[in-house]
Amino acid sequence: TQLLEQSPQFLSIQEGENLTVYCNSSSVFSSLQWYRQEPGEGPVLLVTVVTGGEVKKLKRLTFQFGDARKDSSLHITAAQTGDTGLYLCAGNTDKLIFGTGTRLQVFP
Amino acid sequence: GAVVSQHPSWVICKSGTSVKIECRSLDFQATTMFWYRQFPKQSLMLMATSNEGSKATYEQGVEKDKFLINHASLTLSTLTVTSAHPEDSSFYICSGVNNLPMNTEAFFGQGTRLTVV
């Protein structure tokens, strides 16, 4: 059972555009992580958010944890072709559960 | 950062045979190891959680007799796919954590692509 729903499922945009990916759940998590995965490789951690309402920035990426710690968003400003990949949110309880994933394709 | 080494990176086996996948934490003690499988263009689905020295906890729908997990030491966990069938073909990934609750990073192996013919 996938507890974390991501939207959109697919996103195809041009370089320079902005985008937001959402991660929603009915469950409360002690923390939430965002990963990016390239084909044939394991996921790579981008950020961990712990406190409800927390906002973290990583260069052009902005992550927000919902006040109730049930949802999160990832915003990318001025997307680049190198941002292409599968973005996964993952919620921590006593185990790490991944969201349904958002596949991003950035065209030059 | 910490490293989890997963082997093999890919394997092709015949139906009915067993395949063992190893994950070693190289510079930290993985008190907990998670095992995931991932089908093409899909997310990671948790199969089981193993704690060092105890039996693994399997997610609903995952056959424990088919997917044998051993976590005998703090640096090694193995997943054995027994009597493999073509539908078991998938990408398998392990992830190690040092102590729960997990507000710290989980370290992932490189993944194993299993093809059963």
Mean pLDDT throughout B18-35?
92
Q: Determine, for residues B102 and A31 on separate chains, whether the beta-carbon distance falls below 8 Å.
A: yes
Phi, psi of A51 (to 5 degrees): -95, 135
Between residues B80 and B106, which one has the greater pLDDT? B80
How much is the pLDDT for A2?
52
pLDDT band at residue B29 under the 50/70/90 scheme:
confident
Mean pLDDT throughout A45-59?
93
How much is the pLDDT for B51?
87
Q: Is the pLDDT of residue A69 over 70?
A: yes
How much is the pLDDT for A33?
93
C-alpha pair distances (Å), B8 with each of A38, A96, A105, B5, B25: 18, 23, 29, 9, 15
Cβ contacts of A34 on chain B, cutoff 8 Å: none
Among the partner-chain residues A45, A94, A101, the one whose CB lies closest to the CB of B42 is: A101
Q: Determine, for residues B103 and A45 on separate chains, whether the beta-carbon distance falls below 8 Å.
A: no
Where b means 16+ CB within 10 Å and e means fewer, B24-43 reads bbeebebbbbbbbbbeeebb
- What is the overall mean pLDDT for chain A? 93
Phi, psi of A82 (to 5 degrees): -70, -10
Q: Determine, for residues B34 and A42 on separate chains, whether the beta-carbon distance falls below 8 Å.
A: no
Among the partner-chain residues B44, B49, B111, the one whose CB lies closest to the CB of A98 is: B44
Between residues A30 and B84, which one has the greater pLDDT? B84
Mean pLDDT throughout A60-67?
96
C-alpha pair distances (Å), B117 with each of A60, B17, B88, B90: 44, 10, 10, 12
Phi, psi of A104 (to 5 degrees): -105, 130
With beta carbons less than 8 A apart as the criterion, state whether B25 and B2 touch: yes
- Asked which of A28-37, A55-64, B98-107 is least confident by mean pLDDT, the reply is B98-107
Cβ contacts of B44 on chain A, cutoff 8 Å: 43, 88, 98
pLDDT in tens, B46-79: 999 998 888 899 999 999 999 999 998 989 999 9
Q: Is the pLDDT of residue B41 over 90?
A: no
Cβ contacts of A100 on chain B, cutoff 8 Å: 43
How much is the pLDDT for B3?
87
- Asked which of A24-33, B41-50, B98-107 is least confident by mean pLDDT, the reply is B98-107
Mean pLDDT throughout B27-39?
91
- What is the overall mean pLDDT for chain B? 91
Beta bridge partners of A65: A72
pLDDT band at residue B30 under the 50/70/90 scheme:
confident
